Structure 1
Amino acid sequence: MKRLLVILSAFSLASCAMMNINSHCMKAAQRKMLDTRKLQQAGQWDESLAMAERMRSSVSKSVASAPNQKSAAGMLVDTRPLLAAWENGPFAELKTALQKRDASRSTAAFASLRQQCVNCHTVLGKPQAQVSEIP
């Protein structure tokens, strides 16, 4: 009985730690998204592109740490295809816009990128995980 209690406690702590890692990575990604935009608006295109890559890394780490999440409906969702769609869609568009130093295209890409973040959080039933508006 004692051994079972130890195992259950360890599992509970591991689950809690995983949630904290996810939350930490996503909060870091959000900060980096806003920093990417500020750098782009300041005309610091190379720095903005580098920050965008750091943002992608934070999102990727979050998905890798817990790829299967429960949806709002209670079903298990593999978030890896959602990450791939984000990386190959709005993130790729943002990266291209930053590389081309295209302010209007990057503004549109930031809006699409943020919307895909909101959509993913909604699918996972995490509306409390707010994604900041991009100025």
Structure 2
Amino acid sequence: MKSLFVLAMMIALASCASTMNGHRMKAAQRKMLETRRLQQAGEWDAALAMSERMHSSVSKSITSAPRQKSSGGTMVDLQPLLAGWENGPFAELKTTLKKHDSKRSPAAFASLRQQCVNCHTVLGKTKVQVSAIP
């Protein structure tokens, strides 16, 4: 009976973590879109601050569950994907926001979004849609 209780608690905690990550990733998506809106409005410093909040949501999601099971059943280590996102598209976005570079920012946003889609694809979560960036 005790082992059944422990198993039930582990399942409940895993479900809670999964739900929390879902909320964090939805928040990250809202923050990504808000970052773009602020950038388009010429509010560069606010856009940079919002991008950091977006980063926090993504980072917390991955660090709380760095290894996740894909839809195919294999375990996927998300930490290298996070590092690639941080050092690639996210770093480029931050650079364009700091430089107030309105010519390069659309490409930076598109690249950032594509890296999000790539991560979801690796996990087999193709039904999880990442909003298009205007």
Band the TM-score falls in, shorter-chain normalisation: over 0.9
Alignment pair present for 1:126 and 2:120: no
TM-aligned CA deviation for residue 74 of structure 1: 1.9
In the alignment, is the contact (CA less than 8 A) between 1:33 and 1:52 conserved in 2? yes
TM-aligned CA deviation for residue 104 of structure 1: 1.6
* Structure 2 residue ranges without an equivalent (≥5): none
Provide the C-alpha distance between the structure 2 equivalents of 1:59 and 1:91, rounded to a whole number of angstroms.
11
TM-aligned CA deviation for residue 103 of structure 1: 0.8
Provide the C-alpha distance between the structure 2 equivalents of 1:73 and 1:24, rounded to a whole number of angstroms.
23
Match of 1:70 in 2: 69
Match of 1:30 in 2: 29
Alignment pair present for 1:40 and 2:78: no
Segment drifting more, 5-14 vs 54-63: 5-14
| Poorly superposed stretches of 4+, deviation over 3 Å | none
Encode CA deviations 1:30-75: one digit per residue, 9 max, x unaligned. 0000000000000000000000000000000000110001224321
Provide the C-alpha distance between the structure 2 equivalents of 1:73 and 1:85, rounded to a whole number of angstroms.
23
| AA in 2 matched with 1:127 | T
Over the aligned positions, Cα root-mean-square deviation in angstroms equals 0.8
SS in 1 for 2:29: helix
* Structure 1 residue ranges without an equivalent (≥5): none
Determine what percentage of the aligned residue pairs are the same residue.
65
Q: How high is the TM-score relative to the length of structure 1? A: 0.97
Q: How high is the TM-score relative to the length of structure 2? A: 0.97
